[in-house]
Amino acid sequence: MSTTTKPVNQKAWFLILPVFICVAFSAILPLMTVVNYSVQDIISPERRVFVGTEWFAAVMRDGDLHEALWNQLRFSAAVLAVELPLGILLALAMPATGWRSSITLVLVALSLLVPLNVVGTIWQIFARTDIGLMGATLQKMGIEYSYTGNSVHAWLTVLLMDVWHWTPLVALLAYAGLRSIPDAYYQAARIDGASKFAVFRYIQLPKMRGVLMIAVLLRFMDSFMIYTEPFVLTGGGPGNTTTFLSQYLTTKAVGQFDLGPAAAFSLIYFLIILLFCFVLYNWMQRLGQTEKESHHA
């Protein structure tokens, strides 16, 4: 008995060809250009000198980079520590069904629709001590608040601005995870007389692990690449208090026009983000695996 095999149609690959072309122009070619600049000294458009890894070594010795990296690590850690619990609490407090749920989802998502430069402008006005609601209120309470002159106030203001802008993203992801839990789990918990904390600890939190992992990675990458909001609000000051890695890179590339060092740091910046995301992802995966093994045991 002979069997005939249908010929494989390879024409479907032509459908994704535009995607490859777009990726080549938007990602691969610019990346190759950055790699090219990172190993050369651009003296003029017609004259370039190959310097190898000289720019990488010079950037890594830069004290301003060390300060910007420290500012960035503190800020990203604070963002995750504040926005994740706050987003989960907000998701737990949101109505599950009905028209109240729809209205709440729209209201929660409103801040996500505001452009980044507008966010900085809003908080620049909001934090002013003469006409800003927050700044004027703090002054009337006897607090000498100044986000332009006090480094602690500036850092906390940038953090508060980011929390206001991006906590709804974590809340919406957590809300989606909560809504995907079958009612049978809650019914079993009610039969067993489980408390609200026990339901959260053993039902809701494990079931939200996937969306929370996405939230952690998204918020970490976004916070590690933050630029527009603090640039509009504080300009990186006072001093270098709110100067993060993206602003350091912009100063190198645009302000000082040091294309070689800027290109070298761009690659280092990319590798730092990639490394931290890899570590976070593996840590959360192992944490989930450990909890599964403990439950089975």
Q: How far apart are CA 216 and CA 88, in angstroms?
A: 12
Q: How far apart are CA 266 and CA 260, in angstroms?
A: 10
How confident is the model at residue 83, as a pLDDT? 94
Is there a contact between 134 and 126 (Cβ–Cβ < 8 Å)? Answer: yes
Structure tokens at 10: 């390879």
Q: What is the C-alpha R_g of the chain? A: 25
How confident is the model at residue 74, as a pLDDT? 93
Closest C-alpha among 241, 245, 243 to residue 151: 241
Output the CA angle 196-199-203, nearest 5 degrees.
160
Domain coordinates in residue numbering, the chain: 66-244
With 0-12 CB in 10 A as exposed, 13-18 as middle and 19+ as buried, what is 86?
middle
Fold of 66-244: MetI-like fold (1.10.3720)
Q: Residue 25 belongs to what H/E stretch?
A: none
The tens place of each residue's pLDDT in the chain, 297 residues long, gives 555 666 666 777 777 788 878 877 777 778 888 888 888 887 776 777 888 888 888 888 888 888 999 999 999 999 999 999 999 999 999 988 888 888 989 899 999 999 988 999 999 999 998 888 999 999 999 889 989 888 999 999 999 999 999 999 999 999 999 988 888 888 888 888 888 888 888 888 888 888 888 898 889 889 988 999 999 998 888 888 899 989 888 888 887 778 888 889 999 888 888 888 888 888 877 876 766 666 555
With 0-12 CB in 10 A as exposed, 13-18 as middle and 19+ as buried, what is 279?
exposed
Helix axes 99-109, 151-179, angle to 10 degrees: 150
How confident is the model at residue 160, as a pLDDT? 95
How confident is the model at residue 88, as a pLDDT? 94
pTM of the model: 0.83
